[in-house]
Each structure stands twice: as structure tokens, then as C-alpha cells.
Amino acid sequence: MDIFQILKKEHDQVKSLMNQMLSKKESKADDLMRQIHKELSVHMQGEEKLFYPMLEEDDSSREKALEGYEEHHVAKGVLKELQKMNHADERWMAKVSVLKEIVEHHVEEEEKELFKAAKGVFEKEEVKEIGKKYLEEKERMMSSMK
């Protein structure tokens, strides 16, 4: 898989996890939150390490990349707050909804704009190479989080 296929697949996974979360399966809330936190954190960290830096350096994609970092920053803040909060708190669902909106908006921009710009920045070989490095990095991060 190349980097675009990998990132798209992870976007779909996270979106599906958040939809499950909002379908109010109370008993699974903590489990789902743990999963969302892990998947999203690793995804953002991987993108920031291997995907964004080259886009930040190119004039054609710099602005979008900088915006992406800021959206990650906001999502991380909300994730952090959710971790400290009990899911019985009435603000819990409101916060999950906001996280979902932020993530969906961000994912749409990435897929529609940043991926497009990246295709002009990365060489064909790089697209595969970055994908490989991304998966290695992900495995490393996942095992350090256990």
C-alpha cells in the first residue's frame, strides 16, 4: 500500500469508531475511547513525522500543511480532555461530537486538498517508500503504547 491508501484506510477506521461511539453504546464507551485515542494519536504522529514535513517545505502545499498541524493540535487537545473525563458526564457526548466534527473536517481537507498537493510534491517511488516507513513507524509506536 502507498502512503495515500494507508492514510485513507486509517481515516475510515477512525470515522467508523467515532460513529460507534456516538451510537451510544454506553457499555463500550471506555473501550472505544481508548481505541480512538490510540489510533488517532499514532496516525497524527506518523503524519507529522513522515508526511507533513515535505509538504511544509514545498510552496504549493505549505499553507495546507500548516493548517493541518493546527487541526491536529486542536484534536489532540479535545482528546486529552476526553481522557480525563468520565463518560457519565453530560458534556462527554458533546465533546465526542465536537471531536468528530473536527476530525471529519480535517480528514476531508487532507483527502481533497493535501493529498492532491502531495501528489505533485512526492515522486512516485517516494509515495511507496513513505508508506513503508509509515507502517514501520506505526508498529514501533503501537508497541511502545502498550
Give the per-residue contact string, 45-84, with Fe ion (x = CB under 5 A; - = no): --x-------------------------------------
Closest approach of Fe ion to the CB of residue 8, in Å: 9
Closest approach of Fe ion to the CB of residue 11, in Å: 6
Cβ atoms 118, 8 nearer than 8 A: no
Helices (H), 2-123: 3-22, 29-46, 52-57, 62-84, 91-109, 115-121
Residue 33 burial (CB count, 10 A): 21
Cell of 55: 509538504
| Residues 101-140 contacting Fe ion, CB under 5 A | 110
For Fe ion, the closer of residues 33 and 52 by Cβ is 52
Choices 40-48, 94-102, 118-126, 131-139; region in contact with Fe ion by CB under 5 A:
40-48
Cell of 9: 484506510
The residues of the shown chain that bind Fe ion, judged by CB under 5 A, are 47, 110
